Amino acid sequence: MKENIKLASVRALGATNDFTVGVFKTDEKKYYSNEFKGNFEIVSLTGTINTMDGEFYTHIHMSAGNDKGEVFGGHLNRAVVSATCEMVINIIDGTVDRYFDEEIGLNLFKF
């Protein structure tokens, strides 16, 4: 990443018309993704920026609601901004690297 951010928290809201979010099934140690298209408001986007093996890594979850008030969300794989996305990145001094935990099947913080 050009800005060389090593540790930060991320928050955002806005609008999307095409996004993919997933759910991790712990018993299978596998992600399942759902793709959504249409008019959606990003009601919550939150996550972290840090590193894994010293390289840029991000972990973000997003929830988005449709015109009926139904909300869908999960681990954010991708999203296309349709109108706007007001994102705030709070940079934190320091670093937290990640490692892959074989038992859990996820990339976890290494403190």
- pLDDT score recorded for residue 2: 80
Q: Which DSSP string do the residues of 57-86 spell out, in sequence order?
A: EEEEEEEEE-TTS-EEEEEEEEEEEEEEEE
pLDDT band at 111, cuts 50/70/90?
confident
CATH no., domain 8-110: 3.30.1330.80
The model carries a pTM of 0.92
**For the chain, what percent of residues have pLDDT higher than 70?**
99
Question: How many residues in total does the chain contain?
Answer: 111
pLDDT in tens, 19-70: 999 999 999 999 999 999 999 999 999 999 999 999 999 999 999 999 999 9
